[in-house]
Structure 1
Amino acid sequence: MLSLERLSALISGSPARSNVLPLVPTQEVRTGSNNHSKISYIAEPDGDINGNFNSRNSTSSMASKFDRGLPSAPAGVALKSYSSDIMNGNMGGKTQTNLLNNLRAQNPSLVESKDPIQIILLVETALSDSKDFEILSPEEVDEIKTQCQSIIQRIEQTRQDLIIQLKCRDATLKVIQMYFPGIPSNLNSKIPPDINDDKAQESEKELIANEKRCEELAIKLFHLEKELMTPQVRLLRHTAGILQMTHKDTQGPESSIDNSEDIFAVTKTNKKAELFNDDFLFDERSLYRALEGLNLNSKGTDFPSESQIEWINETEKKLMEMNLRLKHLLSEMNPDSKSIPGSSYEINLKGEPSEIFQMHIEFLEQGIDTIDVEQSRLRGEYDRMKSQCSDLSDQNDVLRNQIKQQREQADLNNSAKDAQLSTKLNELAQLNTLQAKSKDEIYKLQQQVESLNEKLDEVQQRENLRNKEKRDRDFAELRSAEIRIKNAEEKMRSAEERAYEAEDKIKITEEAHRSALEAVKTRDQNIAKLQEKYQKAEDDHTTSLAGLKGQIEDLVSKIENLKTELASVNSAKADLDTSMKEKEVLLVEKEREIDEVQLDIARLQTEVTIAKAELEGAYGSRSQRAAQVAANPANQKEIDRLTKENDSLISELAFIKASKAEILTESEENVKALKRELSLTIGEYENMTKASLEWERERVQLEGVIDSLREEKEDIEAKLNDEKIRRMGAQSSDANTLSPNSIRTSTTILKDEFKKMMRETRAESARILRAEQSERRRLEEEVRALKMNQMRLKSP
């Protein structure tokens, strides 16, 4: 029988009043029929024999004491213990039970409620043992309770995973038994080595993997239950210290053994009060289980991660698909049967996940059992058909022997022989027909069995591959999730520290924020006014720009017309130049001819003079020569013709020179008029360009002022929003009602909203700036084109 004094010494780590050593479990762990662990205790010397307990090192000291108390055993012990608990239905509720209450329930004679002396001794012993216990602050108590809740949730999650893996292991074992009926139905049995089958080897590997996974989950569950003991012990010691302090304050100097009834009443009242929640109590089974090679520092995630939830959902979907395929397979195996399990297979998806998984697993087990029954039935039919076939073969042999005998006796009785022979032949044909039918039925049954085996193999292979890949992914995601959670916790701690530091700064900067807010309002008004001026200037600029565009278009049309006229004038001038060149060439030829004619005339005149002198000397006077000329009219006609031709060429040359002067004068006047009109147009365009550039410069200046004011406004608003967020964070950190998750959520929402607003503002400003820059580039290109046209016109 374990006394309360020794139990207190075991929990506190300090010796009791009877100077006994702390008790620890021995190596012997036995499980009875009622699944209650029986354990014997031995005294183990403790290093701190004086009972001094350092509150700050309570976690490590308690862990070390429990480490020394736990023996070493194979890892399969934990799995076997948890499996037996699951099979007996002891894992459904909470595993944490109150060790003191259990001991009192098992040993009701520990405390005699009607013996006041025993109660006083127990109270004094408890007060003496708990006088050095640490009293925690409310924040530490809340933190320890939160830690306990987190560990309990992890224990429940691990327990559910262990139940699922055990179900999968049992299902794999049943599938192996379906393929190899001779193998015993226990986990220690293995497939015989003489069976060289890939399916068998793969099934054995899958079974080993499932067994390994179950052992890992059992070890993890043991870790978590052992990890839960440390904060629970701290809470128990804190509660004992509180009770010791309150009892010491209420106990006056006049109290003695006479007021034992009051003490008994207080003790009875304290017994009725529920000091602890079931979630913060011991799991006494974890004290007595033995494992080896445990890493007590291993920790899981506080809550099931998204990857675990996703894995559970996918596992549920796969189970549902497997069950539906199993149902379809059963209906194909025996379509006429009305006793197929789960024919009305419906799952209530609104129920608890554990219930849904249990329903899936139960249906899978029922289907496997049905397949076993159907396979045994088919095997019986096959054996019956085989025996029938052997009987028919024996009958066939007998009939053949009889036929041979009858053939030997054919010489004796031919008629009787023929009748008997026909009869036997008919019987033989009937037997052959029956034999063929039975063979067909056997062949069909064999094909059905083979198809069912192939389908089951395919389903099992796909499920094994999916489970293996999913488990690998789950492990990787679980590790990454643990790292992310640790990083998030560190970031949360740093954020809380920054929030505490910013809390003092908020009060100082509050007045500055108010003044900044007033300045922001004033600047908003100025910005609004500037925006109105900018809008008005932009409207004026748009109107003037539209007018300038119209004028530019008119000028461009005029320039095009002038270009056309100038081109026509240039073409006419070119034609005139060509004709003038031709006329000049003709004139040169005519002048040359005239010179030649004049030379001829001069020569002729000289000859005439000489001839006249000769004539006068030879032929007499002028009258005589006139008479001679009159007598020779051909020479006179030639002279007259040449004189007229000379006169016509001279007049034609004078006309050509006069027309050339007129044409040159007219073309020069047209060119001067065109140049004058073009210079006026270019002057007007330059004036308009200068005006547009001035407007553009003013607009750019106004935009710069507006942008600078807008940036100042955004900076002030950003600072104000940051201070508001810090203030909200500080206020929420002061309040105990908000959790770190709510702080982080509110801060994230505010930051996201502010970033979204800033992105929209910047996007709108960038869009307006791009539109203005594109318009500016277009106008610059037009100005550049006009300047190029002007330079082309100025060039000869």
Structure 2
Amino acid sequence: MLAPAQPIGPNGKTLVEGYRQDIINGFDKERPRYNPLNAERPQSSALVDLADPIQVHLLTETALSDSKTYEILSQEEVDDLKKQIQSLSMRIEQAKANLAIQSKYRDAAISMAKLYSSGRPESKRRSLLGNNRLSDQQKEAEMERQTSERRCEELAAELFSLEKRLMGPQKRLLQHTAGILQMTHRASSKNAGQPSAGQQMPNGIPGSPESLYTSSNARNSMEPPGDDMFDDRSLYLALDQMDGQPAGRPRKNTIEIPMKSPVREQAQLRGEVDRVKEENSRLKEAEERLNTQNMEQQRIISDTEKKLERLNRRLRDVIITFNPGENAGFPQPGLATGPGDSLGRQLEYLEMGLLAAAEEQKYNASESLKETEAVARAAAATESLTQAEGQVQALKRQVQDVLQQLNLDEPRPAESEPLGDQLDYLGDAIQIIQGELSRAADLSSSASTRKQNNEQVEAVLTGLWDIIQTGYAEIQQQKAARKKSRSERGLPPDEDDMSSDEMAVDVNEMYSLQAFSARVQWLYAQATSLKEQKSVLKRQIKQQRELNSKSDAEKDQEMKSKTEELEKTRALLDGSERTAREAQEKLADALDNLDMLQKTSAANESASVRAVEDQLKERNAKIATLETQLTDLSEKLAASEANVETRYKDAQAQLSAAEANSASMQAQLSKTDEARAAAEASVDELQKNIKNKEEEIEQMNMMVIELKTEVTIAKAELDGAYGSRAQRAAEAAALSKSSESSELNQQVTQLKAELESTLKDFEEMTKESIASEKEKLDLETKLDDALSAQQRLESEAKMLRDRLDREVGELREQLDAEKLKVPPSPRGGGVGASRAGASMLSEQFRTTMKEERKKFQEELREEQAKRRKLEDELRAMKRNQPGGGIGRSPLGPLSPSTPR
């Protein structure tokens, strides 16, 4: 035989998720319902009216019928159930407190695990113990996170079990209370001429509850009582008046109050003493259990403090590894002095450590931005250095050609030698040429020839010096013009114009070999420094490329999230519009039901109540007036909804127009706010009108009750005037009319409830639309911030490109000046040279200058073409962005266009 299947309960994770909101709210109890209309019992539902006798009667009948089969307990069993409820409630409160504390520790462990797992892989910082220590700390943090989550699941399961156990005693106690009240309730009786117990009572007025000693012990309290308990005036009394002593003859107690017996009192005292002893023993056991639980809780708190202390120490080690120099003095976490004493301090230290870690991450981000700028400058300098090496190689080839023409056997250096070696080679070659010129001058035998040659050499060198001076003068004029244009545009002076790295040049200085030699030496020093910077800049370029690839992915992810938030906002707006349409349909159905009610009441009028026909006509006229007023209210409500919808569409049109003009957008937003305020004022006015109409409906109900009373009096007079047959006919007519009136009142009450629910739905819809508008404004503000940040990045990129162009131009000018310099003479006096060598050198210099200028112009045109292409691509990217462009926002002011 198979064993019965065990019930499968929810797992630990499901229970923790179910208690998540309660943990956030601190396990606060739900606020009880409050209905100010019920003054005697305000803690009732908003849909019940305790002043309505029909509604109270129906609720009483339902409660009495449902509680017939409930079990009735003894006093000892009731006391035991109450003690069980008290004990379980205390354990539940303690379990809730433990779960709240453990959930906080779990959140801290999760944050610590995320901190270890989110470290930068490219960082070169290492702790004293190396990577193994960080991996061990990460594993330990993960184990603590799993342990805390498992502890939370166990506490949630324990709390769920205790709450489930508490439901049994509470249910039995409530059923016992309902059964006692059902047994002691007794309905009012009727006279012999009234219908039997199975028929409906006159005017639907129920009987009143009586005391314990005036009722029978039978569980069927709906049986008809005897004729001696009937009172005609009880038909016209309210419920609260029927609970007291009636104006007629006094009531008779069906059960006499028994006399006290000494033996029974002693037996009761002995039983009470025994119960007190048992209760004391149970209280002692409960006290021992509570002490055990308190010790367990203190142990848990002490363990939590120790874990937090270890966690804070590891967090301090992580912060120190971020920046050992600055964070070496980070404070130590406090020691645990006792259970629960240092828990708050440990949590505060954990919060402080997390904030410090976040600041270190921000500092690393700023350092990466600085490295990006350095990499850009390094790339520009590297390109300039490459061009300088090419120009030096061209100059070296020209010197080698000159040596070959002079028939000098000098070894040719390799093309891939460093720039410094190539410059050394050029210096040696120039010295060899000078030596050959010196030997040629020594071999000259004619003084006139020597003088003529010296004059020619001097003329050539003077011409070269003039060309150099003219080039420097042009460079200074260009710098002055650029500085003047930047000052006219209000820009700060360029760093390149203010730099002091260049040698001070006097354009009016006369030619001398010493000046020529000094400029050649300065060029050599510049080339050496560029060579040293090349290796550093290559490393920075590589790092910057890796950072750029990551930043582009983050920007794409952020733009995608902004687009999804905008789509969610639009979906919320569509939902609010659908809710408004449903509210209109419900209001139309309510009006149709009211029309059907009027037709039904007109068709069911009886001919036996002609004496009160005029009063009923007046009542119908008032109901028609109320219907007209309700129709007017519905029309006003529909008009207000249409007005709100129209204004909402106008506001959307104004938002689209705001993309072209920021000032007009602000004015339209102010108009939209005024329109919303007017709509809210109109809604408030409608609510006031509805309250007035409800008061009128209450007055109509009072008139209906008065008419019912007059009909009853008229019926009694007719019974006295006519015989029993006329009395039966009048009673039948009164019963039919009272049932129709009760149905009419119920329908009116139902319509009032539907109208209130419709108004509540409309108010909620208005609140949701306002909240969605606020969310939309917040999203658009964030989008504007992102776009402005992108514009700043673009402007910085353009500034870097301009700076790169300036540095390239300066390096080219420096290399051109290097070509024009002549090495100093080893003798320091006049230099002789042959006419053929000097003329050839001058011609080659002119040809080289023409080629370099032509090449520079071509490269400048290529750079300008690339810049225009990049600007076109950037504008295309702006146009492809959602919202019509990057430079402006659908709700914000127009962003200034990016300067070209």
Larger RCO: Structure 1 or Structure 2 (Cα < 8 Å, ≥ 6 residues apart)?
Answer: 2
- TM-score, normalising length from structure 2? 0.29
Higher radius of gyration, 1 or 2: 1
- TM-score, normalising length from structure 1? 0.32
